[in-house]
A = this chain, B = another copy of it.
Amino acid sequence: MRVAIVGATGAVGQELMKLLYERSFPLTSLELYASARSEGKEIVFDNHTLKTKTLPEDGNLNADVVFSSAGTRISRDHAWDWCDNGAVVIDNTSAWRMDDRCPLVIPEINGENALGHSGIIANPNCSTIIALMALAPLHKEFGLKRATIATYQAVSGAGTAGIEELRNQSYAFLRGEEYPPKTFQHPIAFNLFSHDSELGKDGYNAEERKLSLESRKILGVPELMISATCIRVPVFRAHSEAIHAEFSVPVTANEVTKVLTSAPGVTLIDDPTNNTFPMPLVASDKNDVIVGRIRPDASKPGGIALLVTGDQIRKGAALNAEQIAEVLLSEGAIG
Protein backbone atom coordinates (compact mmCIF):
# COMPACT_ATOMS: atom_id res chain seq x y z
CA MET A 1 0.00 0.00 0.00
CA ARG A 2 1.39 3.38 -1.06
CA VAL A 3 0.62 5.96 1.62
CA ALA A 4 1.07 9.72 1.70
CA ILE A 5 0.74 12.01 4.69
CA VAL A 6 -0.01 15.64 3.98
CA GLY A 7 0.92 17.67 7.05
CA ALA A 8 3.55 15.14 8.11
CA THR A 9 5.36 17.40 10.57
CA GLY A 10 2.22 18.35 12.50
CA ALA A 11 0.96 16.68 15.68
CA VAL A 12 -1.56 14.53 13.81
CA GLY A 13 0.87 13.65 11.00
CA GLN A 14 3.49 12.54 13.49
CA GLU A 15 0.96 10.46 15.40
CA LEU A 16 -0.17 8.85 12.15
CA MET A 17 3.39 7.71 11.47
CA LYS A 18 3.53 6.15 14.94
CA LEU A 19 0.24 4.39 14.35
CA LEU A 20 1.12 3.05 10.88
CA TYR A 21 4.18 1.50 12.49
CA GLU A 22 2.48 0.29 15.71
CA ARG A 23 -0.43 -1.27 13.85
CA SER A 24 1.79 -2.78 11.10
CA PHE A 25 -0.06 -1.07 8.28
CA PRO A 26 1.15 -2.81 5.09
CA LEU A 27 3.21 -0.07 3.47
CA THR A 28 5.01 -0.29 0.16
CA SER A 29 5.90 3.39 0.22
CA LEU A 30 5.41 6.36 2.53
CA GLU A 31 5.53 9.88 1.15
CA LEU A 32 5.66 12.79 3.60
CA TYR A 33 4.38 16.18 2.52
CA ALA A 34 4.73 19.38 4.49
CA SER A 35 4.86 23.12 3.97
CA ALA A 36 7.80 24.79 2.22
CA ARG A 37 9.04 25.81 5.68
CA SER A 38 9.64 22.16 6.58
CA GLU A 39 10.82 21.01 3.12
CA GLY A 40 13.61 18.49 3.30
CA LYS A 41 13.15 17.83 7.01
CA GLU A 42 14.37 14.33 7.83
CA ILE A 43 12.01 12.05 9.72
CA VAL A 44 12.92 8.51 10.75
CA PHE A 45 10.29 5.82 10.16
CA ASP A 46 10.96 2.13 10.83
CA ASN A 47 14.73 2.66 10.49
CA HIS A 48 14.37 4.54 7.21
CA THR A 49 15.14 8.23 7.00
CA LEU A 50 12.50 10.00 4.97
CA LYS A 51 12.56 13.58 3.72
CA THR A 52 9.48 15.78 3.61
CA LYS A 53 8.51 17.29 0.27
CA THR A 54 6.23 20.11 -0.72
CA LEU A 55 3.02 19.22 -2.55
CA PRO A 56 3.51 18.61 -6.31
CA GLU A 57 1.56 20.86 -8.67
CA ASP A 58 0.12 17.95 -10.65
CA GLY A 59 -1.70 16.46 -7.63
CA ASN A 60 0.03 13.13 -8.00
CA LEU A 61 1.14 12.11 -4.50
CA ASN A 62 2.25 8.62 -5.58
CA ALA A 63 -0.20 7.14 -3.11
CA ASP A 64 -3.15 4.80 -2.85
CA VAL A 65 -4.17 6.46 0.41
CA VAL A 66 -3.63 10.09 1.34
CA PHE A 67 -4.03 11.20 4.95
CA SER A 68 -4.58 14.94 4.94
CA SER A 69 -4.15 17.02 8.07
CA ALA A 70 -2.45 20.16 6.79
CA GLY A 71 -5.44 22.42 7.28
CA THR A 72 -8.84 22.99 5.74
CA ARG A 73 -7.61 25.20 2.92
CA ILE A 74 -5.11 22.63 1.60
CA SER A 75 -7.76 19.91 1.67
CA ARG A 76 -10.35 22.13 0.05
CA ASP A 77 -7.97 23.16 -2.75
CA HIS A 78 -6.32 19.81 -3.51
CA ALA A 79 -8.23 16.75 -2.23
CA TRP A 80 -10.17 16.03 -5.44
CA ASP A 81 -6.96 16.39 -7.49
CA TRP A 82 -5.35 13.72 -5.33
CA CYS A 83 -8.40 11.52 -5.96
CA ASP A 84 -8.10 12.16 -9.72
CA ASN A 85 -4.59 10.75 -9.41
CA GLY A 86 -5.95 7.50 -8.02
CA ALA A 87 -5.80 8.06 -4.27
CA VAL A 88 -8.46 7.63 -1.63
CA VAL A 89 -8.24 10.70 0.62
CA ILE A 90 -8.87 10.33 4.34
CA ASP A 91 -9.32 13.92 5.34
CA ASN A 92 -8.69 15.13 8.85
CA THR A 93 -9.86 18.69 8.27
CA SER A 94 -13.33 20.18 8.32
CA ALA A 95 -13.27 20.77 4.53
CA TRP A 96 -15.51 17.91 3.43
CA ARG A 97 -17.27 16.63 6.54
CA MET A 98 -20.69 17.97 5.72
CA ASP A 99 -20.40 17.32 1.95
CA ASP A 100 -22.95 14.74 0.79
CA ARG A 101 -20.35 13.10 -1.45
CA CYS A 102 -18.09 12.35 1.50
CA PRO A 103 -18.91 9.77 4.16
CA LEU A 104 -18.11 10.91 7.70
CA VAL A 105 -16.76 7.87 9.45
CA ILE A 106 -15.96 6.53 12.89
CA PRO A 107 -15.04 2.90 12.13
CA GLU A 108 -16.55 1.42 15.31
CA ILE A 109 -19.83 3.20 14.56
CA ASN A 110 -20.39 3.47 10.82
CA GLY A 111 -17.27 1.92 9.28
CA GLU A 112 -19.32 0.42 6.43
CA ASN A 113 -20.04 3.96 5.19
CA ALA A 114 -16.36 4.31 4.26
CA LEU A 115 -16.91 1.90 1.39
CA GLY A 116 -19.40 4.22 -0.27
CA HIS A 117 -16.90 7.00 -0.83
CA SER A 118 -16.38 8.93 -4.07
CA GLY A 119 -12.71 9.58 -3.33
CA ILE A 120 -12.78 11.46 -0.04
CA ILE A 121 -13.67 10.04 3.36
CA ALA A 122 -13.96 12.62 6.11
CA ASN A 123 -12.65 12.11 9.63
CA PRO A 124 -14.97 13.78 12.15
CA ASN A 125 -13.90 16.52 14.52
CA CYS A 126 -12.15 15.32 17.67
CA SER A 127 -14.88 16.28 20.15
CA THR A 128 -17.50 14.59 17.95
CA ILE A 129 -15.54 11.33 17.80
CA ILE A 130 -14.93 11.26 21.55
CA ALA A 131 -18.58 11.98 22.43
CA LEU A 132 -20.01 9.51 19.89
CA MET A 133 -17.77 6.63 20.96
CA ALA A 134 -20.01 6.60 24.05
CA LEU A 135 -23.25 7.99 22.64
CA ALA A 136 -23.49 5.92 19.42
CA PRO A 137 -23.74 2.50 21.12
CA LEU A 138 -26.38 4.01 23.42
CA HIS A 139 -28.20 5.50 20.44
CA LYS A 140 -28.33 2.07 18.80
CA GLU A 141 -30.04 0.61 21.87
CA PHE A 142 -32.18 3.46 23.12
CA GLY A 143 -32.49 6.12 20.39
CA LEU A 144 -30.64 9.32 21.27
CA LYS A 145 -32.91 12.37 21.20
CA ARG A 146 -31.12 15.16 23.03
CA ALA A 147 -27.79 15.89 24.66
CA THR A 148 -26.26 18.84 26.45
CA ILE A 149 -22.49 18.67 26.42
CA ALA A 150 -19.76 20.70 28.13
CA THR A 151 -16.25 20.05 26.86
CA TYR A 152 -12.84 20.36 28.51
CA GLN A 153 -10.60 20.49 25.43
CA ALA A 154 -6.86 19.99 25.37
CA VAL A 155 -4.50 22.38 23.63
CA SER A 156 -3.36 19.68 21.19
CA GLY A 157 -6.47 20.59 19.18
CA ALA A 158 -4.41 23.60 18.10
CA GLY A 159 -1.50 21.34 17.14
CA THR A 160 2.09 21.42 18.31
CA ALA A 161 1.94 25.22 18.56
CA GLY A 162 -0.87 24.90 21.12
CA ILE A 163 1.11 22.36 23.11
CA GLU A 164 4.20 24.56 23.12
CA GLU A 165 2.20 27.60 24.15
CA LEU A 166 0.68 25.84 27.17
CA ARG A 167 4.11 24.56 28.19
CA ASN A 168 6.00 27.84 27.77
CA GLN A 169 3.28 30.06 29.15
CA SER A 170 2.79 27.87 32.24
CA TYR A 171 6.51 27.89 32.91
CA ALA A 172 6.63 31.67 32.55
CA PHE A 173 3.58 32.12 34.79
CA LEU A 174 5.15 30.04 37.56
CA ARG A 175 8.34 32.10 37.33
CA GLY A 176 6.36 35.34 37.43
CA GLU A 177 7.28 36.17 33.84
CA GLU A 178 5.15 37.44 30.98
CA TYR A 179 4.29 35.16 28.07
CA PRO A 180 1.67 36.81 25.86
CA PRO A 181 -0.67 34.51 23.91
CA LYS A 182 0.32 33.83 20.28
CA THR A 183 -1.37 30.65 19.08
CA PHE A 184 -4.43 31.29 21.21
CA GLN A 185 -6.21 34.59 21.55
CA HIS A 186 -6.34 34.35 25.34
CA PRO A 187 -3.92 33.05 27.99
CA ILE A 188 -4.28 29.29 28.46
CA ALA A 189 -1.88 28.75 31.40
CA PHE A 190 -3.96 28.24 34.56
CA ASN A 191 -6.94 29.68 32.69
CA LEU A 192 -9.68 28.43 30.39
CA PHE A 193 -11.72 30.07 27.67
CA SER A 194 -14.62 29.52 25.31
CA HIS A 195 -13.30 27.61 22.28
CA ASP A 196 -11.26 29.73 19.88
CA SER A 197 -13.42 29.13 16.79
CA GLU A 198 -15.70 31.52 14.98
CA LEU A 199 -19.03 32.41 16.57
CA GLY A 200 -22.19 32.09 14.50
CA LYS A 201 -25.31 34.23 14.64
CA ASP A 202 -26.97 31.57 16.80
CA GLY A 203 -24.37 32.21 19.50
CA TYR A 204 -22.63 28.87 18.97
CA ASN A 205 -19.01 28.59 17.88
CA ALA A 206 -17.82 26.37 15.02
CA GLU A 207 -16.59 23.65 17.38
CA GLU A 208 -20.01 23.41 19.03
CA ARG A 209 -21.79 23.38 15.68
CA LYS A 210 -19.55 20.54 14.47
CA LEU A 211 -20.55 18.44 17.48
CA SER A 212 -24.20 18.88 16.58
CA LEU A 213 -24.12 18.63 12.77
CA GLU A 214 -21.51 15.87 12.52
CA SER A 215 -23.33 13.76 15.12
CA ARG A 216 -26.54 14.04 13.10
CA LYS A 217 -24.76 12.90 9.95
CA ILE A 218 -22.85 10.02 11.57
CA LEU A 219 -25.86 8.68 13.48
CA GLY A 220 -28.22 9.40 10.60
CA VAL A 221 -30.61 11.36 12.85
CA PRO A 222 -31.28 14.77 11.27
CA GLU A 223 -33.57 15.75 14.13
CA LEU A 224 -31.01 15.03 16.88
CA MET A 225 -30.85 17.92 19.34
CA ILE A 226 -27.42 18.76 20.73
CA SER A 227 -26.29 21.87 22.54
CA ALA A 228 -22.64 22.09 23.45
CA THR A 229 -20.42 24.50 25.34
CA CYS A 230 -16.87 23.99 24.12
CA ILE A 231 -14.14 25.18 26.45
CA ARG A 232 -10.37 25.05 26.07
CA VAL A 233 -8.59 23.98 29.26
CA PRO A 234 -4.90 23.81 30.26
CA VAL A 235 -4.51 20.11 29.48
CA PHE A 236 -2.06 18.79 26.87
CA ARG A 237 -3.68 16.09 24.78
CA ALA A 238 -6.93 14.51 25.92
CA HIS A 239 -10.39 16.04 25.65
CA SER A 240 -13.05 15.45 28.30
CA GLU A 241 -16.80 15.94 27.91
CA ALA A 242 -19.56 16.05 30.53
CA ILE A 243 -22.73 14.83 28.86
CA HIS A 244 -26.41 14.77 29.80
CA ALA A 245 -28.38 12.61 27.36
CA GLU A 246 -32.05 11.82 26.78
CA PHE A 247 -33.33 8.88 24.76
CA SER A 248 -36.56 7.68 23.14
CA VAL A 249 -37.07 5.39 26.11
CA PRO A 250 -36.15 5.84 29.77
CA VAL A 251 -32.75 4.30 30.49
CA THR A 252 -31.03 3.27 33.70
CA ALA A 253 -27.37 3.63 34.65
CA ASN A 254 -27.07 -0.16 34.72
CA GLU A 255 -28.35 -0.47 31.16
CA VAL A 256 -25.90 2.19 30.00
CA THR A 257 -23.00 0.50 31.77
CA LYS A 258 -23.95 -2.82 30.23
CA VAL A 259 -24.03 -1.41 26.69
CA LEU A 260 -20.75 0.48 27.09
CA THR A 261 -18.97 -2.50 28.66
CA SER A 262 -19.20 -4.30 25.34
CA ALA A 263 -18.80 -1.22 23.11
CA PRO A 264 -15.70 -1.42 20.89
CA GLY A 265 -13.02 1.19 21.55
CA VAL A 266 -14.48 2.08 24.95
CA THR A 267 -12.90 1.44 28.36
CA LEU A 268 -14.96 1.99 31.48
CA ILE A 269 -13.30 3.63 34.49
CA ASP A 270 -16.22 4.15 36.81
CA ASP A 271 -15.27 3.53 40.42
CA PRO A 272 -17.25 5.65 42.91
CA THR A 273 -15.79 3.78 45.90
CA ASN A 274 -12.30 5.01 45.03
CA ASN A 275 -13.46 8.25 43.41
CA THR A 276 -11.69 7.21 40.23
CA PHE A 277 -13.13 8.19 36.88
CA PRO A 278 -11.92 9.22 33.41
CA MET A 279 -9.00 11.67 33.50
CA PRO A 280 -7.05 13.19 30.59
CA LEU A 281 -3.66 12.13 31.96
CA VAL A 282 -4.86 8.51 31.93
CA ALA A 283 -6.53 8.79 28.51
CA SER A 284 -3.42 10.31 26.91
CA ASP A 285 -1.65 8.02 24.45
CA LYS A 286 -4.45 5.46 24.79
CA ASN A 287 -6.50 4.23 21.85
CA ASP A 288 -9.74 3.76 23.77
CA VAL A 289 -12.10 6.47 24.85
CA ILE A 290 -12.65 6.24 28.62
CA VAL A 291 -16.15 6.53 30.07
CA GLY A 292 -17.32 6.90 33.66
CA ARG A 293 -19.57 8.85 36.06
CA ILE A 294 -22.48 6.93 34.55
CA ARG A 295 -25.54 7.90 36.62
CA PRO A 296 -29.20 8.81 36.23
CA ASP A 297 -29.75 12.43 35.22
CA ALA A 298 -30.98 13.88 38.52
CA SER A 299 -32.82 16.60 36.60
CA LYS A 300 -34.69 14.36 34.16
CA PRO A 301 -36.22 10.95 34.94
CA GLY A 302 -35.01 8.39 32.41
CA GLY A 303 -32.06 10.49 31.24
CA ILE A 304 -28.44 9.78 32.03
CA ALA A 305 -25.25 11.69 32.76
CA LEU A 306 -21.72 10.56 32.02
CA LEU A 307 -18.15 11.74 31.54
CA VAL A 308 -15.92 10.76 28.61
CA THR A 309 -12.23 11.39 28.01
CA GLY A 310 -10.23 10.52 24.93
CA ASP A 311 -6.84 11.26 23.43
CA GLN A 312 -7.47 14.10 21.02
CA ILE A 313 -4.53 13.36 18.72
CA ARG A 314 -5.06 9.61 18.73
CA LYS A 315 -8.76 8.56 18.61
CA GLY A 316 -9.78 12.18 18.10
CA ALA A 317 -7.76 12.37 14.88
CA ALA A 318 -4.88 10.12 13.75
CA LEU A 319 -6.09 6.75 15.05
CA ASN A 320 -9.58 7.22 13.67
CA ALA A 321 -8.10 8.10 10.26
CA GLU A 322 -5.77 5.11 10.31
CA GLN A 323 -8.68 2.85 11.29
CA ILE A 324 -10.61 4.12 8.26
CA ALA A 325 -7.70 3.00 6.08
CA GLU A 326 -7.79 -0.38 7.83
CA VAL A 327 -11.48 -0.71 6.97
CA LEU A 328 -10.77 -0.02 3.30
CA LEU A 329 -7.89 -2.47 3.37
CA SER A 330 -9.85 -5.29 5.01
CA GLU A 331 -12.65 -4.82 2.51
CA GLY A 332 -10.23 -4.87 -0.40
CA ALA A 333 -11.31 -1.36 -1.30
CA ILE A 334 -7.75 -0.09 -1.76
CA GLY A 335 -4.44 -1.54 -2.83
Contact = CB atoms under 8 A, between A and B. Distances in A.
Given A152-B192, A190-B281, A203-B296, A242 B229 contact: yes
Contact of A299 (B146, B167, B297, B299): B146
A300 B174 contact: no
B203 A148 contact: no
A226 to B, nearest CB: 6
Nearest to A292: B194
Contact of A150 (B150, B212, B298): B150
Interface string A235-276: 110001010100000000100000000000000000011011
Contacts of A204: 295, 298
Contacts of A233: 152, 192, 233-234
Contacts of A205: 275
A277 B192 contact: no
A211 to B, nearest CB: 10
Contacts of A253: 203
A66 interface: no
Counting chain B CB atoms within 10 Å of each CB, which of A233, A240, A275, A299 scores highest?
Answer: A299
A299 B149 CA distance: 10
A303 to B, nearest CB: 8
A212 B192 CA distance: 25
Contacts of A174: 167, 170-171, 174
A122 interface: no
B272 A244 contact: no
A147 interface: yes
A302 interface: no
Nearest to A230: B242
12 contacts: A147-B299, A148-B244, A152-B192, A170-B170, A170-B190, A171-B171, A190-B235, A198-B275, A199-B275, A226-B299, A229-B293, A233-B234
Given A192-B280, A227-B298, 7 more contacts: A148-B148, A152-B192, A170-B174, A203-B305, A225-B298, A227-B299, A231-B240
